[in-house]
């Protein structure tokens, strides 16, 4: 049941990330066209910025889960298999510590900015933008925990575990 929920979450995350990227491009294009016509819609850039913040973190998790982020394994690949596992787990532990820090500071930032309006629009709180940080970091944390679990259980099958 938990596996099914996680699979659905991963699919929803990818769809939402793609939708935010498409909306961002559409809003920037619309803003440019209306500016060219002499009737600029200044709010399009503001909302595109919000969608960009969310898309960055959601796309980062999708890429991390599918091992599509850049990595340099020049030194680690020359180590014995057991040492490779140790180095990988240390890297994941550092990533986990950083993500926990991002979640904590992101939640604090969202709380502090809750009274602030987003780009002067009184009915939208700036917290809608700043929540992209802790939510994205939490999703990345889940993926990283699954990767470290896969590394410890399967010895190098971290990406397969995170995708399952």
Structure tokens belonging to residue 158:
């971290």
Distance of CA 33 to the CA centre of its chain: 30
Average pLDDT, the chain: 89
What phi, psi does 132 have (nearest 5°)? -60, -30
Please, are residues 131 and 137 in contact by the beta-carbon 8 Å criterion?
no
Q: Residue 34 — very low, low, confident or very high, per pLDDT cuts 50/70/90?
A: very high
Looking at residue 157, its pLDDT comes to: 47
Q: How far apart are the first and last CA of the chain?
A: 13
User: What local confidence, expressed as pLDDT, does residue 156 receive?
Assistant: 56
Q: How far apart are CA 69 and CA 150, in angstroms?
A: 18
**In the predicted structure, residue 123 carries a pLDDT above the cut 90:** no
Biggest alpha carbon distance in the chain? 65
- Min mean pLDDT across 17-21, 64-68, 94-98, 124-128 is at 124-128
Domain ranges of the chain: 2-163
């Amino acid at each position: 049941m938990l596996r099914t929920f996680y699979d659905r979450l991963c699919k929803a995350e990818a769809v939402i990330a793609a939708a935010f990227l498409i909306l961002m491009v559409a809003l920037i294009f619309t803003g440019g066209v209306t500016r060219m016509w002499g009737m600029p819609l200044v709010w399009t850039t503001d909302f595109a910025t919000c969608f960009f913040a969310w898309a960055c973190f959601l796309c980062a998790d999708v890429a991390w889960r599918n091992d599509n982020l850049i990595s340099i394994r020049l030194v680690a690949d020359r180590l014995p298999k057991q040492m490779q596992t140790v180095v990988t787990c240390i890297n994941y532990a550092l990533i986990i510590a950083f993500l926990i820090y991002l979640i904590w500071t992101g939640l604090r930032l969202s709380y502090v900015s809750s009274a602030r309006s987003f780009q002067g629009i009184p009915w939208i709180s700036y917290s809608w933008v700043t929540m992209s940080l802790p939510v994205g970091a939490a999703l990345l944390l889940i993926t990283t925990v699954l990767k470290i679990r896969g590394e410890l259980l399967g010895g190098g099958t971290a990406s397969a575990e995170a995708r399952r």
